[in-house]
């Protein structure tokens, strides 16, 4: 489509009509125009008209009129293909920036429709349903940078039938999506403080080192920090120190200042540490320059920490 | 991708072969060759086609076009180039955009057929091809199955056809504002120079040349000599077109009533047809000094003109220059014929006697009419004909008579045109075909002017009336020359009936579809709208279109709403009656409970309704009447309860 400069009042009007997490497509929220191919089609109709007039050839003239009528009919067909749909933001999946967070739309529908496309305007990411008959879900992956993003504008469009017209509408969502920092593998910082269950005393890494119950063989996904390198040196066997006892459960405090690198690197490393701690079912706290998340564990805690990292 | 390429290229191939006569065999073969090469490669060799191969093919194609079609023949050149470019483009197209562009361009390529042919069958073919193109667009873009796509595309196309026909009828016509080059069609027909002795077999064509429509009330009788061209330059064997042929002259119509109407078919010549000296009000047609109509450029599509007889202002005397032009003759050729003419001249006193003598000579010496004359090698062709072969067609007889008249000082010239025509009694019109082509003589008599003489009629008097197809003796010869067509098979009664039906259909098609010009439209609109026809028709078009689109929209929307089943409607009504508003989120059971809470008295009735409701919804549809009874009873009681 041709991008026209949009005046402020137009933006305001759009916002008023299309803001929200769901939209019902009807006559006052649907916009129509010929597509690029449609403009070509129109050009050829005009060309046929000129030929028909100048050769005084009624048949070529009829073809030209047929093309004009066809284009108008396409607008109606496309409108009817669109009208009555309800598009709703059904789920927002936050994820690490490199794994592509996504939005899922629910499309409420009771009849046969074709070529329903949803495009995220900022990222130009697009998903297409070639044909639908009932309610349908449509997921769009958003390749956004680390951070907290407003979902913003989505363009819902169709070219059906024949691709000669574009019929579209907008959905402007105020909801947010988080792109967590991409994980970068890192060692647990030596001087990162480890707090006992009561949170009183800071121990250092070494104190803990010998304090494990048993050795298990290494499986993929386990933290490499828990590998007993002494055993490896002796037997060439990868064994993992298992700290099982709830009394002796360890807690980590991850501090923005204690990891090295640029800001993004630091965030990425923290992101990795948090995920690892969660896998190992350990409690952890997170300290960022402007924020402190106290000791806890579990999925919602992890989400909270990762969101904090995204926003940092 | 495969389907698009094959179907698109088949469309181009079909178009190319249908227009083969106009585009030239070389180009059509080249396009066919491209198609075969591409398909072979796709199936067997499986090599990738690079852009440089495509460009090479395009360059070769343009070279062929330059060589065999030529830029001068601009329309054929252009259409060939369109076809060539389209087929190469569809082979080259890699992205969706490019493919879609080709599909859109097809809306221009396909109707190009109408430049060359405007028959009903061409129209049908273009309709089918455009429908297929739309179907291909659906298959390509939305993964429709072919069957589904064809159904979808043609149903959409079918709605637009009547609308566009209405538009052609009602939108006021614009005059042509540019002169576009017409197609140079290579059709058989009259030629500007007549040389009967070069032709061994008169290859007759059953192509329609024109139709002449006589007013119903007027009873006209043949023979009809449709004049088209005057030849007054003779070089011993060949009669060349007169240099005055394209000199226009003003004639005044003798009365206000036209005597007949001609619908001329497309032709590569600009010369038209009339019985006598004529004039017409049609702007495109001019009258020359011989009183014959012609156009400024060749006729590229069928058109019609009304013929008015004229006041003959021609002097019954001719000037010296004209006299000399019409007795001009090469000196040294055909000595025997000249001697014979001299002999006739000495025996007679005037031209009429001269002709009578000549007629007797022809009849007595066993001259024959044939469409397959023997070829003569001699340079004295007329001597050869007159004294050895004694068989020929109209050109031979006319040529001989005119030459002999000239040799004794009687001004004479050859006229070519058509003789007769096939009468359609139902609509009172004559169809004149290429095989009706004829040549005859006009000679000058002082104080009388130019007179007509048809020496062919001496040997073949039947030829005078009706068409050659109705000529019993010659029709066999004619049919063998025409070949396997409906005409050739007209002995079979059914085939002949079919041929005549098609002919009538084609007549109506030409008259009302192809020749629907601004004049006819004006009459048509005046009949409907009266005086302010043009403006009113414009308004009618706009209103009609809006109504139509509203209707289409309404139909489309109606389908999208599924009506609620009757039991559900009952339930809703009950809820609205009892609670005041309808709540779609609740189950039927919840709704009944809700009403019950409000009207505890109705408990049993409500439960009975629910029972019946479920019975109907989940099982027996026939018990709807029972449910209806319950529903009516309930609404009544609700009302009563409300009053309490």
Residues B544 and B626 reside in one and the same domain: no
What is the per-residue pLDDT for A267? 87
User: Hey, is the C-beta of A90 within 8 angstroms of any chain B C-beta?
Assistant: no
Chain A residues in contact with B131 (beta carbon < 8 A): none
What domain range is A254 assigned to?
194-211+248-311
Please answer yes or no on whether A77 and B156 come within 8 Å at the CB atom. Answer: yes
Domain annotation covers residue B499: no
What domain range is B574 assigned to?
566-643
Residues A303 and A279 reside in one and the same domain: yes
Chain A residues in contact with B160 (beta carbon < 8 A): 66, 69-70, 73
pTM: 0.70
Residues A175 and A272 reside in one and the same domain: no
Domain annotation covers residue B510: no
Residues B506, B120 contacting (CB under 8 angstroms): yes
Residues B330 and B424 reside in one and the same domain: yes
Say yes or no: ipTM exceeds 0.85. Answer: no
- Indicate the residue among B152, B170, B188 that finishes a domain: B170
State how far the Cα of B132 lies from the Cα of B643, in Å rounded to an integer.
Answer: 67
A249 pLDDT higher than 70: no
Domain annotation covers residue A285: yes
Domain annotation covers residue B556: yes
B449: left (phi over 0), alpha (psi -120 to 50) or beta: left
What is the per-residue pLDDT for A49? 93
Q: Across residues A233-240, what is the average pLDDT?
A: 69
Residues B139 and B201 reside in one and the same domain: no
* pLDDT class of A247 with cuts at 50, 70, 90: very low
User: Hey, is the C-beta of A66 within 8 angstroms of any chain B C-beta?
Assistant: yes
What is the per-residue pLDDT for B147? 92
State how far the Cα of B67 lies from the Cα of B65, in Å rounded to an integer.
Answer: 5
* B562, closest residue in chain A (CA to CA): A110
Please answer yes or no on whether A61 and B553 come within 8 Å at the CB atom. Answer: no
Residues A163 and A285 reside in one and the same domain: no
State how far the Cα of A302 lies from the Cα of A271, in Å rounded to an integer.
Answer: 10
Residues B600, B611 contacting (CB under 8 angstroms): no
Please answer yes or no on whether B114 and A59 come within 8 Å at the CB atom. Answer: yes
B613 pLDDT higher than 60: yes
What is the per-residue pLDDT for A13? 78
Q: What is the DSSP string of B354-406?
A: HHHHHHHHHHHTT-EE-SSPPP--SS-HHHHIIIII-EE-HHHHHHHHHHHHH
**Distance, C-alpha B24 to centroid of its chain:** 20
- Indicate the residue among B539, B560, B581 that finishes a domain: B560
Residues A112 and A200 reside in one and the same domain: no
* pLDDT class of A112 with cuts at 50, 70, 90: confident
B188 pLDDT higher than 70: no
Residues B580 and B539 reside in one and the same domain: no
What is the least distance, in Å, from the CA of B89 to any CA of chain A?
A: 16
Please answer yes or no on whether A62 and B165 come within 8 Å at the CB atom. Answer: yes
B315 pLDDT higher than 70: no
pLDDT in tens, A121-161: 888 888 888 888 888 888 988 888 888 888 888 899 998 88
Strands B391-392 and B368-369: parallel
What is the least distance, in Å, from the CA of A102 to any CA of chain B?
A: 25
> Which range in A184-198, B139-153, B461-475, B625-639 is most confidently predicted, on average pLDDT?
B139-153
pLDDT in tens, B232-271: 888 877 888 888 888 888 888 877 778 888 988 888 788 8
Strands B391-392 and B278-279: unpaired
Residue scoring higher pLDDT (B295 or A1): B295
User: Hey, is the C-beta of A134 within 8 angstroms of any chain B C-beta?
Assistant: no
State how far the Cα of B220 lies from the Cα of A183, in Å rounded to an integer.
Answer: 101
Residue scoring higher pLDDT (B164 or B530): B164
Residues B530 and B407 reside in one and the same domain: no
Residues B299 and B249 reside in one and the same domain: yes
What is the least distance, in Å, from the CA of B73 to any CA of chain A?
A: 16
CA-CA distances (angstroms) from residue B489 to A43, B209, B370, B480, B485? 47, 20, 21, 10, 6
Mutation for B interface: A27, A59, A64, A114, most B CBs within 10 A:
A59
State how far the Cα of B205 lies from the Cα of B433, in Å rounded to an integer.
Answer: 8
Domain annotation covers residue A60: yes
What is the per-residue pLDDT for A197? 46
B506 pLDDT higher than 50: yes
User: Hey, is the C-beta of A34 within 8 angstroms of any chain B C-beta?
Assistant: no
Residues A168 and A261 reside in one and the same domain: no
pLDDT in tens, B54-85: 899 999 999 998 888 887 788 889 899 999 99
Could you say which of A69, A131, A163 has the minimum Cβ distance to residue B164? A69
B103 pLDDT higher than 90: yes
What is the per-residue pLDDT for B202? 58
Chain B residues in contact with A73 (beta carbon < 8 A): 156, 159-160, 549, 552
Residues A200 and A91 reside in one and the same domain: no
* pLDDT class of A248 with cuts at 50, 70, 90: very low
What is the least distance, in Å, from the CA of A65 to any CA of chain B?
A: 5
Residues A306, A298 contacting (CB under 8 angstroms): no
Q: Which residue has 């129109």 as its token pair?
A: A42
State how far the Cα of B49 lies from the Cα of B52, in Å rounded to an integer.
Answer: 8
What is the per-residue pLDDT for A16? 80
A198 pLDDT higher than 50: no
What average pLDDT does chain B have?
82
Please answer yes or no on whether A80 and B104 come within 8 Å at the CB atom. Answer: no
State how far the Cα of B193 lies from the Cα of B74, in Å rounded to an integer.
Answer: 25
What is the least distance, in Å, from the CA of A130 to any CA of chain B?
A: 6
CA-CA distances (angstroms) from residue B586 to B354, B583, B593? 113, 6, 10
Residues B131 and B231 reside in one and the same domain: no
User: DSSP class of residue B194?
Assistant: B
Domain annotation covers residue B398: yes
Please answer yes or no on whether B115 and A60 come within 8 Å at the CB atom. Answer: yes
Chain A residues in contact with B266 (beta carbon < 8 A): none
Q: Across residues B551-578, what is the average pLDDT?
A: 72
What is the per-residue pLDDT for A201? 40
Q: Which residue has 């221009």 as its token pair?
A: B108
Domain annotation covers residue B131: yes
* pLDDT class of B471 with cuts at 50, 70, 90: low
Please answer yes or no on whether B107 and A55 come within 8 Å at the CB atom. Answer: no
* Overall domain count for chain B: 4
B351 pLDDT higher than 50: yes
What is the per-residue pLDDT for B393? 82
Domain annotation covers residue B490: no
Cα angle A162-A164-A168, degrees, rounded to a multiple of 5: 105
What is the per-residue pLDDT for B480? 57
Residue scoring higher pLDDT (B28 or B489): B28
Mutation for B interface: A38, A39, A56, most B CBs within 10 A:
A56
Please answer yes or no on whether A48 and B111 come within 8 Å at the CB atom. Answer: yes
Residues A286 and A254 reside in one and the same domain: yes
Residues B434 and B548 reside in one and the same domain: no
* pLDDT class of B124 with cuts at 50, 70, 90: very high
Residues B207 and B149 reside in one and the same domain: no
What is the per-residue pLDDT for B17? 92
Q: Count A/B contacts: CB-CB distance under 8 Å.
A: 138
State how far the Cα of B201 lies from the Cα of B371, in Å rounded to an integer.
Answer: 6
Q: What are phi and psi of B144, to 5 degrees?
A: -70, 155
Residue scoring higher pLDDT (A6 or B285): B285
What average pLDDT does chain A have?
80
B109 pLDDT higher than 90: yes
Domain annotation covers residue A216: no
* pLDDT class of A202 with cuts at 50, 70, 90: very low
Domain annotation covers residue A219: no
For residue B389 the two structure tokens come to 């072969």
Q: Which residue has 């003489």 as its token pair?
A: B453
Q: Which long-range contacts (CB under 8 A, 24 or more apart) does B123-128 make?
A: B123/A59, B123/B513, B125/B14, B125/B18, B126/A59, B126/A63, B127/B157, B127/B161
State how far the Cα of B218 lies from the Cα of B257, in Å rounded to an integer.
Answer: 11
User: Hey, is the C-beta of A54 within 8 angstroms of any chain B C-beta?
Assistant: yes
Q: Across residues B613-621, what is the average pLDDT?
A: 73
Q: Which long-range contacts (CB under 8 A, 24 or more apart) does B615-620 make?
A: B616/B567, B617/B565, B617/B567, B617/B588
Residues A124 and A206 reside in one and the same domain: no
Domain annotation covers residue B97: yes
Strand-pairing partners, residue B438, are B417
Residues B154 and B278 reside in one and the same domain: no
pLDDT in tens, A272-308: 888 888 888 888 888 888 888 888 888 888 888 888 8
A40 pLDDT higher than 60: yes
Please answer yes or no on whether B556 and A65 come within 8 Å at the CB atom. Answer: no
B199 pLDDT higher than 70: no
A210 pLDDT higher than 50: no
Residues A43 and A158 reside in one and the same domain: yes
* pLDDT class of B28 with cuts at 50, 70, 90: very high
Chain A residues in contact with B173 (beta carbon < 8 A): 53
What is the per-residue pLDDT for A204? 40
What is the per-residue pLDDT for A207? 41
pLDDT in tens, A69-87: 999 889 888 888 888 888 8
Return the closest-CA partner of residue B410 out of B377, B445, B450, B438. Answer: B445
B125 pLDDT higher than 90: yes
User: Hey, is the C-beta of A65 within 8 angstroms of any chain B C-beta?
Assistant: yes
* Overall domain count for chain A: 2
A209 pLDDT higher than 50: no
What is the per-residue pLDDT for B469? 58
Taken in order A187, A189, A190, A192, the sign of the CA dihedral is negative
Which residues are CB-neighbours of B581 under 8 A, at least 6 positions away?
Answer: B575
Could you say which of A55, A83, A111 has the minimum Cβ distance to residue B301? A55
Chain B residues in contact with A57 (beta carbon < 8 A): 114-115, 118, 301
User: Hey, is the C-beta of A67 within 8 angstroms of any chain B C-beta?
Assistant: yes
Domain annotation covers residue A3: no
Mutation for B interface: A66, A68, A115, most B CBs within 10 A:
A66
Residue scoring higher pLDDT (B445 or B622): B445
Chain B residues in contact with A59 (beta carbon < 8 A): 111, 114, 118, 122-123, 126, 513-514
What is the per-residue pLDDT for A255? 81
What is the per-residue pLDDT for A291? 81
Domain annotation covers residue B466: no
Residues A151 and A256 reside in one and the same domain: no
Residues B293, B274 contacting (CB under 8 angstroms): yes
Domain annotation covers residue A166: yes
Residues B522 and B601 reside in one and the same domain: no
Residues B453, B399 contacting (CB under 8 angstroms): no
B203 pLDDT higher than 60: no
Q: Across residues A23-48, what is the average pLDDT?
A: 89
Residues A71 and A202 reside in one and the same domain: no
Q: Across residues B144-161, what is the average pLDDT?
A: 90
B169 pLDDT higher than 80: yes
Please answer yes or no on whether B104 and A40 come within 8 Å at the CB atom. Answer: yes
Please answer yes or no on whether B163 and A79 come within 8 Å at the CB atom. Answer: no
User: Hey, is the C-beta of A159 within 8 angstroms of any chain B C-beta?
Assistant: yes
Residues B247 and B138 reside in one and the same domain: no
Residue scoring higher pLDDT (A17 or A215): A17
Residues A118 and A205 reside in one and the same domain: no
- For chain B, give the percent of residues with pLDDT over 70: 88
Strand ranges (E), B446-487: 449-453
Strands A283-288 and A251-255: parallel
């Amino acid at each position: 489509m041709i991008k026209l400069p949009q005046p402020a009042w137009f933006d305001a009007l759009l916002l008023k009509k299309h803001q929200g997490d769901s939209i019902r497509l009807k006559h006052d929220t649907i916009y129509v125009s010929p597509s690029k191919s449609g403009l070509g089609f129109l050009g050829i109709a005009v060309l046929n008209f000129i030929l028909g007039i100048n050769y005084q050839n009624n048949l070529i003239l009829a073809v030209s009129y047929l093309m004009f009528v066809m284009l108008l009919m396409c607008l109606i067909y496309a409108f009817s293909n669109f009208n009555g749909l309800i598009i709703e933001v059904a789920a927002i999946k936050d994820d690490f920036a490199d794994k592509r967070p996504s939005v899922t739309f629910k499309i409420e529908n009771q009849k046969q429709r074709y070529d329903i496309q949803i495009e995220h305007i900022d990222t130009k990411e697009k998903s297409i349903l070639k044909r639908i008959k009932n309610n349908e879900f449509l997921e769009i992956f958003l390749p956004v940078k680390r951070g907290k993003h407003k979902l913003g504008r989505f363009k819902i469009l169709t070219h059906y039938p024949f691709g000669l017209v574009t019929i579209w509408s907008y959905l402007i969502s105020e909801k947010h999506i988080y792109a967590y920092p991409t994980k970068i593998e890192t060692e647990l910082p030596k001087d990162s403080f480890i707090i006992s269950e009561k949170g009183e005393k800071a121990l250092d890494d070494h104190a803990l080192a010998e304090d494990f119950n048993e050795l298990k063989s290494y499986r993929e996904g386990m933290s490499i920090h828990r590998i007993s390198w002494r055993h490896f040196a002796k037997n060439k066997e990868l064994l993992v120190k298992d700290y099982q006892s709830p009394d002796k459960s360890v807690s980590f405090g991850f501090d923005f200042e204690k990891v090295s690198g640029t800001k993004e690197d630091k965030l990425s490393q923290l992101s990795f540490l948090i995920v690892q701690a969660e896998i190992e079912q350990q409690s952890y706290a997170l300290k960022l320059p402007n924020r402190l998340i106290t000791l806890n564990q579990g999925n919602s805690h992890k989400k909270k920490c990762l969101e904090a990292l995204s926003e940092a | 991708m495969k389907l698009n390429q094959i179907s698109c290229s088949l469309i181009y191939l079909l178009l190319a072969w249908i227009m083969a006569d106009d585009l030239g065999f070389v180009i059509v073969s080249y396009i066919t060759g491209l198609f075969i090469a591409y398909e072979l490669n796709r199936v067997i060799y499986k090599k990738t086609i690079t852009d440089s191969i495509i460009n090479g093919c395009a360059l070769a194609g343009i070279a062929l076009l330059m060589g065999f079609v030529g830029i001068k023949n601009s329309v054929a050149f252009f259409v060939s180039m369109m076809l060539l470019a389209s087929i190469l483009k569809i082979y080259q197209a890699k992205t969706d955009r490019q493919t879609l562009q080709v599909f859109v361009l097809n809306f221009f390529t396909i109707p190009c057929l109408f430049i060359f042919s405007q028959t009903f069958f061409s129209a049908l073919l273009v309709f089918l091809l455009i429908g297929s193109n739309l179907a291909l667009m659906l298959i390509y873009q939305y993964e429709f199955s072919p069957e589904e796509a064809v159904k979808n595309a043609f149903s959409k196309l079918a709605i637009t056809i009547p609308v566009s026909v209405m538009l052609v009828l009602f939108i006021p016509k614009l005059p042509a504002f540019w002169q576009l080059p017409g197609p140079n069609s290579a059709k058989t027909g009259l030629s500007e120079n007549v040389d009967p002795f070069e032709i061994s077999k008169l290859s007759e064509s059953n192509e329609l040349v024109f139709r002449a429509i006589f007013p119903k009330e007027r009873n006209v009788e043949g023979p009809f000599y449709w004049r088209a061209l005057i030849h007054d330059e003779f070089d011993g064997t060949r009669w060349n077109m007169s240099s005055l042929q394209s000199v226009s002259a003003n004639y005044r119509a003798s009365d206000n009533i036209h005597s007949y109407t001609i619908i001329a078919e497309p032709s590569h010549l600009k010369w038209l047809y009339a019985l006598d000296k004529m004039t017409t009000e049609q702007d495109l047609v001019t009258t020359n000094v011989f009183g014959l109509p012609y156009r400024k450029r060749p006729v590229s599509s069928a058109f019609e003109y009304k013929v008015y007889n004229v006041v003959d202002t021609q002097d019954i005397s001719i000037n010296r220059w004209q006299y000399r032009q019409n007795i001009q003759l090469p000196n040294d050729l055909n000595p025997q014929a000249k001697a014979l003419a001299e002999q006739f001249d000495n025996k007679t006193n005037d031209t009429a006697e001269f002709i009578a003598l000549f007629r007797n000579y022809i009849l007595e010496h066993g001259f024959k009419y044939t469409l397959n004359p023997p070829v003569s090698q001699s340079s004295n062709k007329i001597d050869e004909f007159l004294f050895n072969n004694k068989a020929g067609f109209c050109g031979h007889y006319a040529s001989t008579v005119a030459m002999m008249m000239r040799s004794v000082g009687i001004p004479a010239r050859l006229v070519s045109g058509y003789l007769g025509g096939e009468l359609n009694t139902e609509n009172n019109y004559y169809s004149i075909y290429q095989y009706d082509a004829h040549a005859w003589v006009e000679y000058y008599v002082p104080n009388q002017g130019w007179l007509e003489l048809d020496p062919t009629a001496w040997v073949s008097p039947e030829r005078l009336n009706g068409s050659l197809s109705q000529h019993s003796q010659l029709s066999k010869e004619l049919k063998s020359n025409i070949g396997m067509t409906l005409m050739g098979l007209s002995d079979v009664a059914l085939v002949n009936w079919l041929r005549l039906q098609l002919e009538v259909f084609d007549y109506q098609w030409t008259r009302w579809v192809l020749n629907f010009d601004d004049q006819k439209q004006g009459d048509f609109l005046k009949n409907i709208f009266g005086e302010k026809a043009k403006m009113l028709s414009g308004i009618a078009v706009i209103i009609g279109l809006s109504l139509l689109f509203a209707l289409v929209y309404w139909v489309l929307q109606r389908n999208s709403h599924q009506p609620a089943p009757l039991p559900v409607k009952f339930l809703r009504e009950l809820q609205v009656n009892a609670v005041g508003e309808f709540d779609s989120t609740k189950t039927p059971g919840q709704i009944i409970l809700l009403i019950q809470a409000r009207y505890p008295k109705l408990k049993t009735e409500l439960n009975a309704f629910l029972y019946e409701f479920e019975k109907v919804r989940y099982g027996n549809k026939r018990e709807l009447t029972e449910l209806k009874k319950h529903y009516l009873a309930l609404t009544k009681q609700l009302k009563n309860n409300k009053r309490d």
